[in-house]
């Protein structure tokens, strides 16, 4: 999977808290590890200059190449067992030859006749003592092998006062950068492995199905989902209140909180108004009146959307009937504080006339046919010829019939009703509904020749909805 720069930035912003916390943690761990775990190392060094009196050799060879060869030769003299043993004996320290060899570094400086001997140790006194011993023994050893060599001290050793390592700042910075890169990679990997719907673009990119509505996710102070039926009266007066002068004391926290609440209510109202506009255009274009609203899983918000959509359509003067066909967990009656029975099942069982089962709500042009008494065989009842006849009869009486059904993944009732209806709206909850569920849903619809009107993306961030300025995507070239 390839990511664009825009997608990487969106992933970064979505997981910025995780990335920030991990990066700060990496900085802290690196700092503490460098400060308290890694033992400090002290380096003492001495620089020596080599001058050979072998004029014959120097006359025959290039001066620079000769200097390099001489220094290389002398360094080899100082890497012998004899040298290390003499240094240990001179320093009177308890070290093995291998230990001293690992502590010592001998190298030429910029390919000149100057070379440097350095010793690193966790004890600054040991470093200094060993280098002082080498300062004494090195010239003697070289002259014993080549008597024409002359060794001069360029930079004598000094007792180290501060550790050469660890570099706490450097280690902390590197640790933070490594942690940052790892968290970015983890975020990208998590995005690749995430099988759930991420946003509107994710839906549009993978399915040739329009998104008719985008509903924000919002909860009030009581932690209950805000329903439009609770906000309608406020929404009708919202513009007047916003334009009034009641905000003169906007500096007060209470007024600011009230204005923020009104803004949220307005956004939710407009989300459903936009869904209504897109849906009515689609229905008029495709000649549909009977709509099934369903989802793949429970708790995707289909019943809430059914209720609120019915309210906003009724506000335009259209006569709307909500039919509760979720015979296992129907709850439309709870939203309107009406009785659940008599209802659909009672009508289908010829226990009551349809006129006596339909209940008028307190909202304009909105009626509800509740679920009724839950039968032992709901699937058979939904698939009966009586159900098909009932929908045809209702179609003559109402402008729009919106049917709430069980989730497709849970029971098959929804598919039966979709076949009898004119089309289906699929509710998809952001970050919850998986692509496999959507693909399975669409495959069943295609197999049963069910018309999919579009998606309703539910549960998006309220801040994301504010940024979108109530803009909803729609494919103008969408074909049946």
Task: Give Cα 324 to chain centroid, integer Å.
Answer: 37
Measured in whole angstroms, the distance separating CA 446 from the mean position of its chain's CA atoms is: 33
Q: How distant, in Å, are the alpha carbons of 69, 112, 118 from that of 106?
A: 15, 14, 7
Residue 140, domain member (yes or no): yes
For 332-356, how does the pLDDT look when each residue is reduced to its tens digit (9 = 90+)? Answer: 998 888 988 898 988 988 888 999 9
For residue 380, being part of any structural domain is answered with: yes
- Is residue 410 assigned to a domain? yes
Report the CATH number that the domain containing residue 446 is assigned in CATH: 3.40.50.300
User: Could you give the number of structural domains in the chain?
Assistant: 3
CB atoms within 10 A of CB 432: 17
**b/e code 59-76 from CB counts within 10 Å (16+ = b):** eeeeeeebbeebbeebbe
In a domain, 217, yes or no: yes
Looking at residue 237, what is its pLDDT?
45
pLDDT of residue 478: 39
Beta strands in 206-352 (DSSP E): 211-216, 290-295, 320-324
Range of the domain at 206: 200-468
Is the separation of the CB atoms in 275 and 400 below 8 Å? no
79's enclosing H/E stretch is none
Q: What is the pLDDT of residues 346-393, one digit of tens each?
A: 898 888 899 999 999 999 999 999 988 887 777 777 778 888 889 989
Same domain, 46 and 34: no
22, 80: one domain = no
Whichever domain contains 54, its CATH number is 3.30.70.1130
Report yes or no on 474 lying in a domain: no
pLDDT digits (tens, 9 = 90+) for 228-285: 545 444 444 444 444 444 445 445 555 545 555 566 677 888 899 999 999 998 888 7
Same domain, 237 and 288: yes
Q: Are residues 260 and 402 in the same domain?
A: yes
Q: What is the pLDDT of residues 70-115, one digit of tens each?
A: 888 889 989 999 999 999 999 999 999 999 999 999 999 887 889 9
pLDDT of residue 53: 53
pLDDT at position 274, please? 93
Going by C-alpha positions, the residue among 431, 413, 208, 125 that lies closest to residue 294 is 413
Is-contact 309 402, C-beta < 8 A?
Answer: yes
Please provide the average confidence, as pLDDT, over all residues in the chain.
Answer: 83
Q: Could you tell me if 321 and 188 lie in one domain?
A: no
For residue 408, the SS3 value is coil
Helix 5-14 with 16-32: angle, nearest 10 deg = 70
Question: Per residue in 418-443, pLDDT tens?
Answer: 888 899 999 999 889 998 999 999 99
Residue 357 lies in a domain: yes
134 with 23, same domain: the answer is no
Average pLDDT over residues 27-31: 96
Do 187 and 272 lie in a common domain? no
> Could you tell me if residue 476 is inside a domain?
no
Same domain, 299 and 252: yes
If asked whether residues 172 and 94 sit together in one domain, one would say no
Query: Over the stretch 120-148, which tens digit does the pLDDT of each residue have?
Result: 999 999 999 999 999 999 999 988 888 77
**pLDDT for res 479:** 37
Would the pLDDT of 171 be above 90?
yes
228 and 360 in a single domain? The answer is yes
Q: Which of 48-57, 96-105, 195-204 has the lowest mean pLDDT?
A: 48-57
> In this structure, is residue 161 part of a structural domain?
no
d(CA 404, CA 391): 13
Residues 454 and 372 in one domain: yes
Do 127 and 244 have their domain in common?
A: no
């Amino acid at each position: 999977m390839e990511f664009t720069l825009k997608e990487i930035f969106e992933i970064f912003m979505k997981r910025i808290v995780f990335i920030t916390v991990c990066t700060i943690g990496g900085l802290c761990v690196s700092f503490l590890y460098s400060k308290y775990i890694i033992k400090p190392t002290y380096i003492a060094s001495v620089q020596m200059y080599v001058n050979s009196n072998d004029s014959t050799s120097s006359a025959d060879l290039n001066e620079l190449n000769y200097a390099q060869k001489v220094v290389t030769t002398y360094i080899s003299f100082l890497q012998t067992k004899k040298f290390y043993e003499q240094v240990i004996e001179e320093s009177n320290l308890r070290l093995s030859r291998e230990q001293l060899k690992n502590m010592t570094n001998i190298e030429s400086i910029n390919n000149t006749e100057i070379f440097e001997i350095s010793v690193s140790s966790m004890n600054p006194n040991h470093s200094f003592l060993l280098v002082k011993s080498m300062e004494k023994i090195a010239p003697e050893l070289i002259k014993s092998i080549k008597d024409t060599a002359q060794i001069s001290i360029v930079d004598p050793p000094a007792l180290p006062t501060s550790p050469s390592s660890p570099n706490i700042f450097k280690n902390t910075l590197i640790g933070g950068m490594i942690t940052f890169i790892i968290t970015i990679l983890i975020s990208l990997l998590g995005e690749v492995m995430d099988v759930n719907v991420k946003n509107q673009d994710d839906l549009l990119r993978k399915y040739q199905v329009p998104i008719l509505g985008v509903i924000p996710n919002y909860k009030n102070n009581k932690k209950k989902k805000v329903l439009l039926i609770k906000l309608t009266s406020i929404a009708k007066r919202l513009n007047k209140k916003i334009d009034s002068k009641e905000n003169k004391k906007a500096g007060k926290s209470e007024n600011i909180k009230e204005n923020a609440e009104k803004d949220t209510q307005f956004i939710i109202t407009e989300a459903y108004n936009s869904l209504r506009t897109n849906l009515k255009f689609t229905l008029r274009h495709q000649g549909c009146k009977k709509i099934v609203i369903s989802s793949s899983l429970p708790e995707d918000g289909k019943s809430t959307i059914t209720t609120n959509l019915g309210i906003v359509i009724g506000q335009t003067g259209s006569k709307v009937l909500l039919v509760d066909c979720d015979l296992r967990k129907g709850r439309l009656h709870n939203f309107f504080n009406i009785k659940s029975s008599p209802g659909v099942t009672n009508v289908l069982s010829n226990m009551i006339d349809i006129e006596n089962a339909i209940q008028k709500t307190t909202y304009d042009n909105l009626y509800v046919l509740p679920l009724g008494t839950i039968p032992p065989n709901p699937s058979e009842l939904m698939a009966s010829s009586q159900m098909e006849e009932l929908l045809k009869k209702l179609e003559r009486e109402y402008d729009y019939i919106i049917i709430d059904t069980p989730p497709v993944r849970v029971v098959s009732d929804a598919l039966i009703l979709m076949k009898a209806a004119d089309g289906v709206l699929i509710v998809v909850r952001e970050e919850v509904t998986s692509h496999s569920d959507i693909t399975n849903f669409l495959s069943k619809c295609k197999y049963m020749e069910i018309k999919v009107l579009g998606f309703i993306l539910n549960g998006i961030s309220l801040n994301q909805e504010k940024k979108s300025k109530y803009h909803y995507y729609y494919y103008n070239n969408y074909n049946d």
